[in-house]
Structure 1
Amino acid sequence: MAKFTTFGGLLASAAFALTAGTALAADYTLVISSWAPPTHSINARMWPTFTEMVEEATDGRVTTELKLGLAPPPAQMDLVMDGAADLSIIFHGYQAGRFVTTKMIELPGYVGSSEAASVAYWRAYDAYLKDANEHRGVKVVALHTHGGAQLMSAEQVTELSQAEGMKVRIPGGVAADVGQALGMIGIKVPATKVYETLASKAADGVVMPIDSRVGFKLTEVAQNMYMLPGGLYRGSFAFIMNEDAFADLPEDIQQVLEDEVFGEPISRAIGAIWEAGDAEAIEATLATPGNAIIDASPEDVARFDEVATGVRAKVIEEVAATGVDAQAAYEMIKAEMAAFE
């Protein structure tokens, strides 16, 4: 869908452009499909950062146009493959059975920031995980992960044992493995439906990244957050691009995007945005009347470590069955995060 932009076309799309000032000078406009709310960091920071990096690298020859609501979250990959959009963000856990190796970054127990994890994720993908070819049909632009997801609920949770039997919105991937190990009753709804699911009492709680407290207004419907160091899991996301849209760009633009934007540079930048979002959401939670953060006790931390050990063993075995050296990928992520500066 990448297109040569005429003056008239630019005037028609300027209201939707992420950076309208440079859009008027661009030769190519890439259409982005996004499913998050307009104010979420994905749309307020991540795509604008991507656009800024693209525009800078290409001297303004390429810009973007953001469109919301083209399809629900699980349909974004097919949307890009079909050419209905040039770019999108996908959460791998929404597509059960389609992605397995992406669960490596979701494992509980990694120590470090979202930025460190996202860089480590890209490097492990480049070294090992891409061999599984799970993203066939699209071009992987970035891989990234949020900080540790936490249990949030209207009723206060003070002990990990209370999670057993709770009806909790849990995404797919490793989150589902962790929820099952803790005895939660999993309810699968996309992130865009979490607020109404909690407001209607169809779920007792939700397990999501901390920044969701602001991005999805959870301070209104899940006032309490039970905090485990490192969280219950990390989510796996990708920025993906239509292969034909990339191929239609001039070779010099393709090269500069590969060298200066795609891969580790944008993965690092997005990871840092996730981290900043978590910090802001913690501040917002503490500043909102009726909200509270309950830190897990040392006993609960030790108990969860046992649960995490079992989940890691299960997932590493599952990923290894794809033919990827899962243990090496796991060790690489840990080492890269430990060495991150």
Structure 2
Amino acid sequence: MKHAISRLLLVTSTLGLCASAGAETTLRMAHLWPAGSAVNQDIYQAWANQVEQESNGQIKVEIYPSQTLAKADQAYDAAANGIADISVTLQGYTAGRFPLTEIVQLPGVANSASQGACILQTLYDEGDIVGEYSDTHVLFMFTTGPAYLHTRDTEIRTPADLQGLRIRRPSEVAGEMLASMGAQPLGMPAPDIYTALQRGVMDGLSFPWEAMKVFRINELTNYHLQVPYYAGAIVATMSQTAYDRLSPEMQAVIDDNSGMAWALKAGQVFGELDKAGREEAEAQGDTIHVVEDPLNDPAWAAPLKQGTENYLKRLEERGLDNAKEVYEKALALRERCEA
């Protein structure tokens, strides 16, 4: 009788880990991307398939896309608290929680998703930002490609053109830069943008080309300005409790599918989607302007550099005395991580 009760308790665990007599474990993964997107299929489903294969079927992964298990701004806590066994989310959704991580999002740090993934994962692997994730078991980190400015009806060429426009901001830091240029930043998760733009709640947004395609935003926009002032940091992380409950052999399977290899794979997928997103906008006849070197551009350099300085200063005021050191290291990693 005691054995039967113990077995029942394992099966009904509220942590989402379902263990059977055959030692099979099901992990629930939460993320915000659509189920049919290449991001879900080529990164998260591919990861799930690899883990299942290498565990000989002892680990299975149930994927809950489109915020169906946890909202984007609550996804990290969902993993930390065991509501989800694995969560993938953008750190920018929880402003101020990952301050050193968000340094990678600053203008000029990464020129592509692959480069950003390499820089971010290296900072984690070498201990520079590891302390920000002590409440979960990190699998891998990566970034989007550079985020640009996209609008429905207003053509943007200079910061002055942003005056009064309601622009969705991807993070608090990016929002401050937009506000300094006269825009009205709005915060909302990526899956909500289409409806907000369609209803006229906002005039435009900041998004990488990848997201313009994945979330179908190209359908609603006509003007695009490629000024790379931001990139989104993303973390795939696991409940520490869920990880600890695995056998050493199954933990080894998770470990073998963590770190730089998967960070770079994710970066490659995002890079390919960036290319496809721009091609989609070109095919529909949209107007696209490009600022080649924004940190040295007469119009854009000042607000972007000031935004960076403001952010680093704020981190130092919070007692993060190594903020500039992490920033300088991120810049130095660009050559090692050149993609």
Pick the TM interval, shorter chain. 0.7 to 0.9
Q: 1:50 aligns with which of 47, 50, 57?
A: 47
Give the Å deviation of 1:102: 1.9
Closer/same/farther in 2, CA of residues 56 and 322 from structure 1, 3 Å limit: farther
Give the Å deviation of 1:136: 3.6
> Is structure 2 residue 138 aligned with structure 1 residue 143?
no
> Retained in 1: the 8 A contact 2:55–2:253?
yes
- Cα deviation, 1:211-255, whole Å, max 9, x if unaligned, reads 122111111112221112xx1201111111111110111112213
> Retained in 1: the 8 A contact 2:139–2:237?
yes
> Retained in 1: the 8 A contact 2:85–2:242?
yes
Q: 1:291 aligns with which of 286, 292, 298?
A: 286
Q: 1:31 aligns with which of 22, 28, 31?
A: 28
Closer/same/farther in 2, CA of residues 75 and 251 from structure 1, 3 Å limit: same
| Partner of residue 311, structure 1 | 307
Identify unmatched segments of 5+ residues in structure 1: 8-25
| Partner of residue 9, structure 2 | none
Closer/same/farther in 2, CA of residues 48 and 312 from structure 1, 3 Å limit: same
Q: Aligned equivalents of 2:302 and 2:249: distance in 1?
A: 51
| Partner of residue 17, structure 2 | 2
**Runs of 4+ residues over 4 Å off in structure 1:** 297-300
Q: 1:61 aligns with which of 58, 76, 83?
A: 58
Closer/same/farther in 2, CA of residues 79 and 54 from structure 1, 3 Å limit: same
Q: SS of the counterpart of 1:36?
A: coil
Q: Within 5 A, what are the aligned runs for 1:197-212?
A: 197-212=196-211
Which amino acid is 1:220 matched to?
E
> Is structure 2 residue 120 aligned with structure 1 residue 124?
no
Q: Within 5 A, what are the aligned runs for 1:149-160?
A: 149-160=147-158
Which amino acid is 1:287 matched to?
A
| Partner of residue 238, structure 2 | 241
> Retained in 1: the 8 A contact 2:141–2:263?
yes
Give the Å deviation of 1:313: 1.6
> Retained in 2: the 8 A contact 1:147–1:234?
yes
Q: TM-score, normalised by structure 2?
A: 0.86
> Retained in 1: the 8 A contact 2:104–2:110?
no
| Partner of residue 11, structure 1 | none
- Higher RCO (CA < 8 A, seq sep 6+): 1
Identity of counterpart residues, as a percentage? 22
Give the Å deviation of 1:295: 2.2
Which amino acid is 1:293 matched to?
I
Q: SS of the counterpart of 1:70?
A: coil
Q: SS of the counterpart of 1:175?
A: helix
Q: Aligned equivalents of 1:324 and 1:255: distance in 2?
A: 36
Identify unmatched segments of 5+ residues in structure 2: 1-15
Q: Within 5 A, what are the aligned runs for 1:1-341?
A: 1-5=16-20, 27-68=24-65, 69-130=68-129, 133-160=131-158, 161-228=160-227, 231-258=228-255, 260-288=256-284, 290-296=285-291, 301-320=297-316, 321-323=318-320, 325-340=322-337
Q: TM-score, normalised by structure 1?
A: 0.85
> Retained in 1: the 8 A contact 2:111–2:146?
no
Give the Å deviation of 1:37: 2.0
Q: Aligned equivalents of 2:74 and 2:139: distance in 1?
A: 18
RMSD: 2.3
> Retained in 1: the 8 A contact 2:26–2:60?
yes
Q: Aligned equivalents of 1:40 and 1:209: distance in 2?
A: 15
Give the Å deviation of 1:41: 3.5
Q: SS of the counterpart of 2:89?
A: strand
Give the Å deviation of 1:167: 0.8
> Retained in 2: the 8 A contact 1:197–1:203?
yes
Which amino acid is 2:185 matched to?
G
Closer/same/farther in 2, CA of residues 324 and 42 from structure 1, 3 Å limit: farther
Closer/same/farther in 2, CA of residues 124 and 50 from structure 1, 3 Å limit: same
Q: SS of the counterpart of 2:231?
A: coil
Closer/same/farther in 2, CA of residues 318 and 29 from structure 1, 3 Å limit: same
Which amino acid is 2:278 matched to?
I
Give the Å deviation of 1:110: 2.1
Q: SS of the counterpart of 2:36?
A: coil
Q: Aligned equivalents of 2:263 and 2:321: distance in 1?
A: 22
